Structure 1
Amino acid sequence: MKAYKYLFLLFVSLGIVSCSDLEEEPVGLLTSPEDFFQTTDNIQTAVNGSLTHAINEKFWGRKLSVALMLRSDMVDLASNETRRVENNELTTLANNEMISEFWLKTYQGIAAANQAIHGAESVNVAADVKNPVTAQAYFARAFYYFHLVRQFGDIPYIDVVITPENTAQMSTISKTPAAQVYENIIADLQFAKTWLPNTQASRAIPSKAAASSYLALVYLTMAGTNDAANFQKAFDEAQDVILNKGVYNLDLDPDFQNLFNADVIDSSIEPIFALDYNNFEAPNNGYDQIAPMTGIRGDDRNSGGGWSVAVPSLEVYTTWNAQDYRRAVSLDDGASIDGNLELYTNFTISGHQFAKNRPYIAKYTRFPGAFARGNARATSHNYSMMRYAEVLLIAAEAAVEINEPEFARTYLNEVRSRARMGGTTLSSGVEVSVAGSAEPADHIGTVTANDVLEERRLELAFEGKRWYDIVRRQLGTTVFSASGLEGIKPDFSPNDYLMPLPADELARNPNLLPNNPGY
């Protein structure tokens, strides 16, 4: 098989255009990178190209984000496309096109980051001038690999620029053990933390706080269920962000709804690192489709409504405290924010034949901002990949495991306190003010890891976090049982904690065999 058929030859392309809150500059094929990289602006262009891949429909715009939702215990499927059914029922095959598409898009983002990192070596300026820019590329590379290693385990780790001279070598590359991938991720994030500034002009540009927050999450993930050393590291990194929140210009937004309101999110200081669509549409599907994927079919409230694809189970709604403002923000019951459980037996949510008669995800459909396309596509959302509330919960969970109960309770209750504040959201398409509530009440007594995981489930619902929590805490046998929110998933096995490596990639490079266990 000829070398040009391998995935890795695609790495010589930086990307399409830059992220929407960054300078927009088309980037083409770089046949001579050393000629291109002359200034820090050239490094920034390559970084922008790397992060652009993350807002593509094949990454966070639909494929990866929806796969993570479906594989969790909170989102069911209201359609019957095989590729989605496999993710929802945990029967995913190696030829699943959702996997192959976000696999490729992720590596393209990595390729562009590698171009920036190695291209920076040709820029003849002082380290303190170019490293703060190059550090963004180190962050981007870590960001992409962190997704890959959690999904697939052992993976090909590429940190060089692919050129015509080394394509033959790339065509025989083998898998790197997950432990080594994690070491490389940590090294990249530590470099980023050293050189990135405390704040940036946009939360779509990595900052020192973003690097430190991701280090905390990486250590928490590596800790699994019983690694005290990594729990301590996770706590230390998270607390560093918390103690320096003033320096980093971070805090909880007083209104939870603001985090999912494209019209006001730019003024919020809660996001730490975000993917910003900003009414942005680029070539090759560079736009957001989460709003229609999760929206109500036949609902005319936001430029065509949705497609009724990814829909929560009824139990997600009924088991969520009705006085918790986050439920009103996170879920749409088709009627009012107070809800009426009877409506699910005698009410059709929109009247459309394909609209499933359940509550819907509301985080991305109520305030999507301007659309670059009809049918609720290409929104203006900023998707928080990391926000301050999650840092508090990382610190709380790690504190439980290192026997720091006061910190665990303090940080958990800080998140709950914001949830009690109420705010302004939509009810039946009309903007309404929701008064503060006594719920969720402060946690009294000893906080357990399960308490924090449950708080993460509610606080971060439908944000692509729950599946990763299930995996790192090995919760599958519980959450996919008959008592789980979606009922029993009979095909679940511990092998499902890892996805299969894409079949076409294995066919191109037999050195990546065997596939993950169970596939």
Structure 2
Amino acid sequence: MRNLYNSTKKLIVLGAASFLVLGACSDEYLEEVTYGEVSPSEMTKVENVEKAIISTYSVLNGQIDGSSNAYNSPASNWSFGDVVSDDCYKGGGGTGDQNQIHQMELYNTAPTTYDVERKWMALYEGVKRSNEAMKLLIASEDFDTELKTQRMAELRFLRGHYYFELKKIYNRIPYIDETAETVEDYARSNTEFTSEELWAKIEADFQAAYEVLPETQEEVGRPTNLAAMAYLAKTYVFQGKWQEAYDATTEVMGGSYGLLDDFQSVFLPENDNSKEIIFAVQYSVNDGQSSNYNGSIGDRLSAPGGPYYSQYGFHRPSQNLVNAFKTDANGLPVQDNVNVSETDNVDPRLDVTIGRPGIPYKDLDIIYEDSWARDLATYGPFAPKKRIVSANSPYHVLVWPYVNALNYYIIRYAEVLLWRAEAAVELGNLEEARSLVNQVRERAANSSYVKTLDGSSDAANYNISTYDTEWTDTQTARDLVRLESRLELAMEGHRFFNLVRWGVAKETIDAYLEVEKTRRTHLTNASFSSGKNEYWPIPQEYIDSVEDGTVTQNEGY
């Protein structure tokens, strides 16, 4: 899709109110039509308003133009949420390959870093499209009244999502709503509102969406009322509003969502919209879209190599993450950060999540080998696996750009259970927290395990059990819930943001780097600065473009 933008303010507006983005459908390029070429009566026709709404959904995947570099603004946040945590390395063909992400991994990000600019631009494109579609919807006289109310709720949900992402990544952000009329209206200070006021605005969008959206949607991909409530719970969790988070998760857990029986099955494209998936970015391939840009374009560099995949080799699991899956004789986490050996017991989710030498990879009837790993000497032998689609699947594209149709799950039910467990701990309900964590672990225990190639036995010593001893210490309970979140959600782009909101980013990453630097020399110069590296810098180009000088750079940059 093309983007027309004002060159001085492109990082936030990409044209703002100077054009309307329209498209034939969700899987076609969106055509941009200037106001000068289309009469207002045409623009507010029902079919054109619907196209504007679809265009708001279409940038959920981080793809905002006709290039293939959505990996610099990925919906999955693999670089923003995993590579900068203790879960992953950048990977690729050495430190010079996508060097700006290497600098992010070293906590040496700058206001001119391309990915920082690109992510900002993609998210504000979502904000802008939400606002423009709202205005057209309001102005449309022919829209069915009931459907109009629902579509407005969808747009508020989407705007809430885009602003949530901006808040968790950049913290101090400009806030622009549907009253914006000109490009200049989008050139706003990022300190106009306090953090609390920004969160309140995000909450208001999700609350408004919840009050209107239906319990179910005929068209997959559109949010439900409980999806809005789940997202509202997420805003509460990020603010430490534990009673509100507890109450919100109560409602979500009382609905139709739930855990799938099998952990591996969650990450199959054919189960993309199962009962476990509360809201997701919808991907598709072989749908007529040029270059399969409706596929997982932001994650295309994760291809693990070997005989079936391109060897881009990015998003590589850390040794620390692999070690986190080790268990003892009772099936409980060990957490000694000693490298896993062939004889060690491990959580069965390890070999669903990570490609390890000696373990079969997907259903390809092949053993993963360390030779698959690009730049083995730098980044080690491990590969992503959980969100890689089998090369045998019709949902995987075997040619460039090597994408798949596995949706990106923004919120899934297991995460809601773990938020609820966090809230329960903070409210003093330690036994409830234990029960919730045990639900997640029990599902893992009862799932199908990775087998040897001949199917005669488990591929490793899988051993996982529930916590059967009463939880009586708050800090221990808190640590165990956080650990379960890491294990369950590994490689899904959440880890770094969780460390930040828990207030343990500095201590966790320092401990990680102390050991990991002895394993991976590319991390030698990595250093996390408290009070700085929890958030990304405001793009310098945006600061320079706001002529009244009211944009304040984040601390330390």
TM range (shorter): 0.7 to 0.9
The question of whether the paired residues in 1 share the 8 Å contact of 2:296 and 2:403 is answered with: yes
Q: Does 1:357 align with 2:356?
A: no
Query: Structure 2 matches for 1:258-297, cutoff 5 A?
Result: 258-262=265-269, 264-266=270-272, 268-279=274-285, 281=289, 287-289=295-297, 292-297=300-305
Instruction: Confirm whether residue 252 of structure 1 aligns to residue 259 of structure 2.
Output: yes
Which of 61, 66, 84 is equivalent to 2:78? 66
Alpha-carbon deviations, 1:453-476, whole Å to 9, x = none?
111111111111111101111112
Is 2:556 aligned against 1:518? yes
Greater displacement, 43-52 / 150-159 = 43-52
The question of 1:35 aligning with 2:41 is answered yes
What is the CA–CA distance in structure 2 between the aligned matches of 1:204 and 1:307, rounded to whole Å? 29
Structure 2-normalised TM-score? 0.80
Range moving further from structure 2, 2-11 or 387-396: 2-11
Q: Offset of 1:380 from its aligned partner?
A: 0.8
Kept after mapping to 1: 8 A contact 2:389/2:395: no
- How far off is 1:187 after superposition? 0.6
CA distance in 2, matches of 1:35, 1:162: 20
Q: Please name the residue that 2:440 is paired with.
A: 415
Q: Secondary structure of 2:278's match?
A: strand
Q: How far did residue 369 of structure 1 move?
A: 4.5
Query: Counterpart of 2:86 in 1: which secondary structure?
Result: coil
Q: Distance in 1 between matches of 2:395 and 2:162?
A: 28
Deviates more, 1:75-84 or 1:90-99: 75-84
Distance 1:110 1:151, change over 3 A: same
Secondary structure of 1:28's aligned partner? strand
Alignment pair present for 1:10 and 2:15: yes
User: What CA deviation, in whole Å up to 9, does each residue of 1:145-182 have, x standing for no partner?
Assistant: 0010111112111113654xx33444465543332221
The 5 A counterparts of 1:301-340 are 301=308, 304-321=309-326, 322-336=345-359
Output one character per residue of 1:23-55: Cα deviation in whole Å (capped at 9) or x when no partner: 758442351684345455544322221121121
User: Does residue 397 in structure 1 map to residue 422 in structure 2?
Assistant: yes
1:291, 1:377 within 8 Å by CA — same for their partners in 2? no
The answer to whether the Cα contact below 8 Å between 2:346 and 2:461 also exists between their aligned partners in 1 is: no
Gap regions ≥5 residues in structure 2: 327-344, 362-368, 518-522
Q: Which residue of 2 is the match for residue 141 of structure 1?
A: 159
Q: Indicate the SS of the match to 1:423.
A: coil
Q: Amino acid of the residue matched to residue 530 of structure 2? A: S
Question: Contact 1:154–1:176 at 8 Å: present in 2 too?
Answer: no
Greater shift in the superposed pair: 480-489 or 379-388: 480-489
Which of 469, 488, 501 is the equivalent residue of 2:538?
501
Taking the aligned partners of 1:137 and 1:306, their CA distance within structure 2 comes to 38
Residue identity in the other structure for 2:304:
I
Following the alignment from structure 1 to structure 2, what is the Cα–Cα distance between the partners of residues 312 and 62?
19
Aligned equivalents of 1:82 and 1:491: distance in 2? 18
Indicate if the aligned counterparts of 2:86 and 2:320 stay in contact, CA closer than 8 A.
no
Contact 2:510 2:528 in 1 (8 A): no
Aligned partner of 1:479 in structure 2 is: 508
Deviations along 1:455-512, whole A, 9 cap, x unmatched?
1111111111111101111112221123567458434323111110111111212534
Q: Kindly report the root-mean-square deviation, in angstroms, between the aligned alpha carbons of the 2 structures.
A: 3.2
Given the alignment, which residue of 189, 213, 223 partners 1:196?
213
Change (3 A) 1:291 1:483: closer
Structure 1 partner of 2:246: 235
SS of residue in 1 equivalent to 2:245 = helix
The total of aligned residue pairs comes to 492
Worse-superposed segment, 92-101 or 489-498? 489-498
Contact 1:215–1:237 (CA under 8 A) maintained in structure 2: yes
AA aligned to 1:122 is A
Deviations 1:406-457 (A, max 9, x none): 3212211111111111226586799998899651423532262221111111
Aligned residue type for 1:242: M
Give yes or no for contact 2:9–2:187 (8 Å, CA) kept in 1. Answer: yes
* Matches of 2:303 and 2:110, distance apart in 1: 27
More divergent stretch after superposition (118-127 vs 43-52) = 118-127
Change (3 A) 1:140 1:208: same
Structure 2 Cα separation of the partners of residues 429 and 363 of structure 1: 22
User: For 1:331 and 1:15, how far apart are their aligned partners in 2?
Assistant: 40
Do 2:21 and 2:129's aligned partners in 1 also have CA atoms closer than 8 Å? yes
Q: How far does the alpha carbon of each residue in 1:286-335 deviate from its partner, in whole angstroms, 9 at most, with x for none?
A: 642455422323x122xx33311221112211231344221111010132
Corresponding residue of 1:89: 106
TM-score (norm 1): 0.85
1:62–1:290 Cα contact (<8 Å) kept:
yes
- SS, match of residue 284 in structure 2: coil
Q: Which of 47, 52, 58 does residue 46 from structure 1 map onto?
A: 52
CA contact (8 A) 2:174 2:190 kept: yes
**60-69 vs 392-401, which deviates more?**
60-69
1:420, 1:71 → 2: CA distance?
A: 30
The 1:294/1:121 distance shift into structure 2, 3 A limit, reads same
Q: Structure 1, residues 179-237: CA drift from partner, whole Å, max 9, x if none?
A: 222111111001110111111235421111110000001001011xxxxxx11001110
Does the alignment pair 1:463 with 2:488?
no
Distance 2:516 2:382 in 1: 13
- For 1:227, the equivalent position in structure 2 comes to none
In 1: Cα distance, 2:453 partner to 2:401 partner:
18
